[in-house]
């Protein structure tokens, strides 16, 4: 699958502080990522979605949208989210489902919850190996 990476940073419009764990995704698709502690993100955009809109949202902030067509490839996307009070509706607590029902529901929702196309991501891993009472990293 061909496409490009959209990289950027999300900040609080009032304080300039990084907005951690904000959702960044292409509207109407399952293509999504989350900002890190520094408010930074990287999102792979397939060619088929190169002219779509990216939506950025986080609890406690108003959502922002950016047209990918207006964003030059390779240029960082800088987004500021304005703080916004959000009133939550009534919460209804029900008895938990059985383990079988939870698994059945999870299996039924796999196609909707997970992208069904190929995608790429960056992964960082660290390992330790113990040999003769010494640790090698």
**How far, in Å, CA of 55 to CA of 57, rounded?**
7
Return per-residue pLDDT of the chain as tens, 137 residues. Answer: 688 899 999 999 999 999 999 999 999 899 999 999 999 999 999 988 988 999 999 999 999 999 998 888 888 999 999 999 878 889 888 877 888 888 898 899 888 887 777 777 777 777 766 666 655 55
**How far, in Å, CA of 127 to CA of 86, rounded?**
42
Q: Phi first, then psi: give them for residue 33, nearest 5 degrees.
A: -145, 180
pLDDT for position 11: 97
Which pTM does this prediction carry? 0.61
């Amino acid at each position: 699958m061909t496409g490009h990476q959209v990289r950027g940073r999300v900040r609080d419009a009032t304080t300039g502080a990084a907005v951690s764990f904000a959702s960044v995704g292409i509207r109407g698709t399952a293509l999504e990522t989350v900002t890190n502690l520094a408010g930074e993100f990287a999102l792979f955009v397939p060619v088929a979605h190169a002219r779509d809109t990216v939506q950025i949202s986080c609890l406690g902030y108003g959502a922002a949208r950016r047209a990918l067509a207006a964003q030059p490839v390779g240029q960082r996307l800088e987004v500021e989210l304005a703080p916004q009070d959000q009133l939550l509706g009534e919460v209804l607590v029900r008895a938990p489902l059985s383990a079988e029902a939870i698994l059945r529901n999870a299996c039924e929702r796999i196609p909707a919850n997970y992208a069904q196309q190929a995608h790429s991501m960056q992964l960082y891993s660290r390992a330790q190996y113990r040999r003769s009472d010494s640790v090698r990293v």
